[in-house]
Chain A
Amino acid sequence: MIEPIVEVEGLVKDFGKVRAVDDVSFSIMPGETFGLVGESGSGKSTIAAMLLCLETPTAGSINFDGTRIDTLSPRKLLRYRRRMQLVMQDPIASLNRSKTIEQIIGLPLSVHESLTGDSRRNRVLELLDMVALPGSLLGRYPHELSGGQCQRVSIARSLAVSPSFLVLDEAVSAVDVLTQAQILNLLKALQKEFGLTYLFVSHDLAVVRYMCSRIAVMRGGKILEISEREQVFSSSAHPYTQELVAASPASLAAAVQDHRKEKS
């Protein structure tokens, strides 16, 4: 029997008097893309941060590959850190602007794999190739790259330590539709090649539907429902889910046209 790679039980996070995450439980199977959707403030990014041990839960537990990680000492945690990585929303702001692409992708290789010199450079070139970027970018700085290229660098950096689990927090929300399509294709191809597991956080339901096999819908810190892809878009979905679906630009186009027909 296959065990989940991530198992979250009764997760709670309070910021002062505000309960940002309220009794959340779910599990993610190896090789799966699990979607987390909701509006801003629904708690989805806080969950992502707790999974990566960047925030300490107020209550509840997080298991990664059978080990409880939310209570580990920082030293012991380091072993797990390299197995889980993060890709953030803003591709340019999430890269250190004073470092070259080689230094940015090379940093996790120095920290986790003690690589230096040529062996480090060769691995960086390999990683650039993986995300379909030319080796000529090695000496360039983030501001010399397009948004899409920066997001590919972010992905290459996250793959540097050969993780098994990636948290993609609104990873394609800040890029144009063409770039978005290319990044989504790349993420799917990488997942297939390396058997990666994804937590895909987004407010765009059409993109979530394209990427995820199971989807959790969040509001006000709670998970309203977790269901298989097609179920989310059926009439049996939670009313709030249906509201999100209806508000998506894909549905909006049809709705506005109906609205106009009625008026005329």
Chain B
Amino acid sequence: MDKPVLQVRELRIGLRDDSAVNLVHGVNFDIARGERVGLVGESGSGKSLLSLSIMGLQPTAIEVRSGSIRVSDHEVVGQNEKYLDTLRGRTMSMIYQDPMSSLNPVRSVGNQIVEAIRAHDSGSRAVARRVAIDLLGSVGVRDPHRTVDNYPHEFSGGMRQRVMIAMAISCEPKLLLADEPTTALDVTTQAKIIELLDDLVDQRGMSVIFVTHDIALAASFCSRIDVMREGEIVETQPTAKLVAAPRHPYTNALLAAICTFDTDPNRPLLSPIVDTGTEGGNSA
């Protein structure tokens, strides 16, 4: 059997300056080749922290206290930046929620993709540029020979997210981390981006961690869903099973809170059992 692309063991994350504040409490999970895992939870559940830590990009105020993160059999925890840079891009790569603030506004998108390619590959500029144009075409950016020289502000939000995706897959990573990649987009654009990711992931055999607060969206894309709450994974199940028969009351609450086209408008949302205290931090 193949080794998992990602293996997280007993991962603990907390505030660097305050050993009493722990944010992720001993999380374990594996992702197999080609698997798409949804990491679902509310804000503050630790899902983004977990995915940033896999990239070694956690904020400086945050530290991984103990445990192990192995991506394609390479340990991430405790490594220096120089080593992590050899993994980022080629082994693992990330797309973020806000494409505008993740792109450099004063450089053309082509130059930014070329830079990403050449950081990991010794090929010439001209070759990298051709690859960039191909990539833009494959993520559905129109007329890539011309638009490769455009600046981020010349693209719409959806097109910018496509550029981000092109950059993220430019070095053919084994693991793609997508942190709320469609949250800032309209529903119709969101649908198109999800469809694009769906095709790209299949074609390239990537594994994906899809971080979102939207369990319905996760269900549309992922083969498995891990539900996070207050720094722990409270439930892991294949998507169909999780949606049909959630085991944890919190998962049930998340599913019950969703408005669908079958929701009865004359009844309150949520089951009464979970209607209290779920808002997180009565910060009193």
In the bound complex, do residue B220 and residue A253 qualify as a contact, i.e. CB atoms below 8 Å apart?
A: yes
Indicate if A250 sits at the interface (CB-CB under 8 A). Answer: yes
23 contacts between A and B (CB under 8 A): A136-B284, A146-B283, A149-B283, A177-B42, A177-B254, A178-B42, A181-B259, A181-B270, A182-B275, A182-B278, A185-B269, A205-B261, A207-B259, A209-B263, A210-B259, A245-B261, A249-B220, A250-B216, A250-B260, A252-B194, A252-B220, A256-B220, A259-B198
Residues of chain A from 195 to 214 with CB closer than 8 A to chain B in the complex: 203-207, 209-211
B252-278: CB near A (< 8 Å → 1, else 0) gives: 011011111101010011100011001
In the bound complex, do residue A177 and residue B191 qualify as a contact, i.e. CB atoms below 8 Å apart?
A: no
Known: A179-B278, A250-B216. 12 other contacts (CB 8 A): A145-B283, A177-B213, A177-B258, A178-B279, A185-B268, A209-B263, A209-B265, A210-B265, A229-B265, A246-B191, A253-B219, A260-B198
Residues of chain B within 8 A (CB-CB) of A193 are none
In the bound complex, do residue A40 and residue B186 qualify as a contact, i.e. CB atoms below 8 Å apart?
A: yes
Residues of chain B within 8 A (CB-CB) of A221 are none
In the bound complex, do residue B216 and residue A249 qualify as a contact, i.e. CB atoms below 8 Å apart?
A: yes
A164-180: CB near B (< 8 Å → 1, else 0) gives: 00000000000011111
Select from chain B the residue with minimum beta-carbon distance to A184: B269
In the bound complex, do residue A209 and residue B284 qualify as a contact, i.e. CB atoms below 8 Å apart?
A: no
Select from chain B the residue with minimum beta-carbon distance to A213: B265
Select from chain A the residue with minimum beta-carbon distance to B256: A181
8 Å CB contact of B257 from A178, A233, A247, A263: A178
Residues of chain B within 8 A (CB-CB) of A206 are 258-261, 263
Interface residues of A (CB under 8 A from B): 39-40, 134, 136-137, 140, 144-149, 176-182, 184-185, 188, 203-207, 209-211, 229, 233, 243-253, 255-257, 259-260, 263
How far is it, in angstroms, between the C-alpha of A181 and the C-alpha of B260 when the chains are bound? Answer: 12
In the bound complex, do residue B258 and residue A250 qualify as a contact, i.e. CB atoms below 8 Å apart?
A: yes
Indicate if B149 sits at the interface (CB-CB under 8 A). Answer: no
Least distance between A24 CB and chain B CB atoms (Å): 20
Interface residues of B (CB under 8 A from A): 42-43, 186-191, 194-195, 198, 202, 213-217, 219-221, 253-254, 256-261, 263, 265, 268-270, 274-275, 278-284
Least distance between B212 CB and chain A CB atoms (Å): 10
Select from chain B the residue with minimum beta-carbon distance to A240: B188
Select from chain A the residue with minimum beta-carbon distance to B281: A146
Least distance between A180 CB and chain B CB atoms (Å): 7
Residues of chain A within 8 A (CB-CB) of B258 are 177, 206, 250
Select from chain B the residue with minimum beta-carbon distance to A172: B259
How far is it, in angstroms, between the C-alpha of A242 and the C-alpha of B279 when the chains are bound? Answer: 33
How far is it, in angstroms, between the C-alpha of A229 and the C-alpha of B265 when the chains are bound? Answer: 10
Residues of chain A within 8 A (CB-CB) of B270 are 178, 181-182, 185
8 Å CB contact of A180 from B191, B198, B216, B257: B257
Least distance between A199 CB and chain B CB atoms (Å): 17
Residues of chain B within 8 A (CB-CB) of A178 are 42, 253-254, 257, 270, 274, 278-279
Given the interface contacts A136-B284, A179-B279, does A256 sit within 8 Å of B194 by beta carbon? yes
8 Å CB contact of A247 from B188, B202, B263, B279: B188
Select from chain A the residue with minimum beta-carbon distance to B192: A247
Residues of chain B within 8 A (CB-CB) of A244 are 187-188
